[in-house]
Amino acid sequence: MYLNRHIEKQLLKAASEYACITIYGPRQVGKSTVVEYLFGASMPKYSMDDIILRSSAKTNPRLFLENIGWPVIIDEVQKTPELFEQIKINIDKEKSRRLKNNENIELMYVLTGSNQFELRNKISESLAGRTAVLPLSTLSNAELLKYPTTSFFNPNIDILKQKQQNYKLPYRTRKRIFEDIFRGGMPEYVVYDRARELFFDSYIFTYIERDVRAIIRGDKETIFLKFLEYIALRTGSQIDYSEISRSVGIDVRTVKNWLSILETSGIIVLLEPFMKNSSKRIIKSPKLYFMDTGLCAYLCKWPTAEMLERGIMSGAFYETYVVSEIIKSYYNNGLNPKRYLYYYRDKYQKEVDLIIDSATGIYPIEIKKGINPVSSNKNFDFLNHLGKNINIGLVIDSCETLMPINEKVYSCPISLIGL
């Protein structure tokens, strides 16, 4: 069963504007599936997982590309880095020919890849400016509920009111929310109801075996898994590099390197502090969030959604879920969330879980797992020193409907975050 992905609109738009599009993301997020759904009827597909095809592409990339022609889908293209330079040559030649004939460029190559370390390097070396690059993450809640393609999450109150009216969203109890958090959004796991332990155990093994082994020393695989499990316990938290170093038994440099690997893989995202004025009062360490709460819950060894809801990490998982859903909405609309999403914390212990930077100023957002837990005197006036306009803020929680807490803050149901 195919679930429509909200990134489809961006992929089709890019296909009409570029000679090449590249879609990347972690393993098992549906890259090949969405590409085949959109382009499979009109393009043949060649997977570089096939050892014979891979050998042919490596031995003579020019001949290989001549034989398969275009337009064409090349899956797991990072396994054949020899192809990138020849793809560049082919694109440039075709662009030149079409320019002379006053013709528009047409889509030639659709590339997908899971090992983003190799993929990004090759794109920057050979295909910069020649390919549209779009990330794909796990299924969002809006995709799972089969809502039509939506815009990125916009915290403007008038827009949220309109969306609430248009979608007439059913109320999600906190029990249901934590079931969604515990499940996560891995397409194969969710759609085909795979056995939980076998699926995630296999996923972690494959990730380390195929994506990480080439980057870290072979004798570090066991400690990398320990690091991965420890990092999962820190989701929703500000990073303390020294504390992680001591607990896992690796040096700080390795901690930073391995966090970079996880972020580049799309497993985690690091949310930077809001520092537009470079205020000395701002805490500078990023916050860490897992992009799939199901994977994170498995790494933390939570056995059921009920125990997760009642456990000491329930607040961290609730926050992680909200932030990851918002980030997915940005990805699905062709936007880089790092340009808009931040958090705030200063040395006086004033903090805001999420700040969305916009042309009209900043939107401060707090995330609470309860139902309307904030008093009526809630405000974000302590952000005034940032020198930015402070828009009406939000407290995203488990309430039933959008409602004002006071003139400066609204309570927002979690169901609206992915719309």
* Domain limit, last residue, from 80, 106, 135: 135
Asked if residue 262 is part of any domain, the answer here is yes
Is residue 2 in some structural domain? no
Q: Measured on CA atoms in the order 204, 206, 207, 208, is the torsion positive or negative?
A: positive
ω into 44 cis (within 30 of 0): no
Q: What is the pLDDT of residue 375?
A: 64
DSSP string, 325-364: HHHHHHHTTT--GGGTEEEEEBTTS-EEEEEEEETTEEEE
Range of the domain at 41: 8-135
Q: How far is CA 172 from the centre of its chain?
A: 23
| 16/89 same-domain check | yes
Please tell me whether residues 209 and 357 are part of one structural domain: yes
Q: Are residues 163 and 88 in the same domain?
A: no
Give the chain's domain count: 2
Question: Same domain for 29 and 90?
Answer: yes
Q: Are residues 124 and 161 in the same domain?
A: no
Which CATH number covers residue 68?
3.40.50.300
Residue 112 has pLDDT above 70, yes or no: yes
Domain-located, residue 3: no
Kindly write down the DSSP assignment for every residue of 1-43, as one continuous string. -PPPPTTHHHHHHHHTT-SEEEEE-STTSSHHHHHHHHHTTTS
Tell me the pLDDT band of 244, cut-offs 50, 70 and 90. Answer: very high
**pLDDT for 301 beyond 60:** yes
- In the sheet with 287-290, reading across from the earlier edge strand, the strands are 237-238, 287-290, 268-271
Query: Mean pLDDT for the chain?
Result: 89
Q: Tell me if 1 is assigned to some domain.
A: no
**CA atoms of 386 and 168, how far apart (whole Å):** 37
User: Is position 20 within any domain?
Assistant: yes
pLDDT digits (tens, 9 = 90+) for 347-379: 888 899 999 999 999 999 999 987 765 666 678
Residues 210 and 111 grouped into a single domain: no
Domain-ending residue, one of 83, 111, 135 = 135
Per-residue pLDDT, averaged over 64-79, amounts to 93
- Statement to judge: residues 211 and 125 lie in one domain: no
**One domain, residues 204 and 226:** yes
**Could you tell me if 105 and 198 lie in one domain?**
no
In a domain? residue 48: yes
- The rounded percent of the chain whose pLDDT value lies above 70 is 94
For residue 365, tell me if it sits in a domain. Answer: yes
Contact 83, 118 (CB under 8 A): no
| pLDDT band at residue 218 using 50, 70 and 90 as cut-offs | low
Tokens coding 162: 């309109």
Q: Look at residue 58 in the predicted model and tell me its pLDDT.
A: 93
Residue 294 contacts residue 317 (beta carbons within 8 Å): no
Query: 46: part of which helix (H) or strand (E)?
Result: strand 45-47
149 and 128 within one domain: no
Residues 125, 166, single domain; the answer is no
Location of structure tokens 């020919």: 97
> Quick check: is 303 in a domain?
yes
Domain co-membership, 322 together with 340: yes
pLDDT of residue 278: 53
Q: What is the pTM of this model?
A: 0.92
pLDDT tens for 143-172 read 998 888 778 999 999 999 998 888 877 888
Which of 100, 135, 170 is at the close of a domain? 135
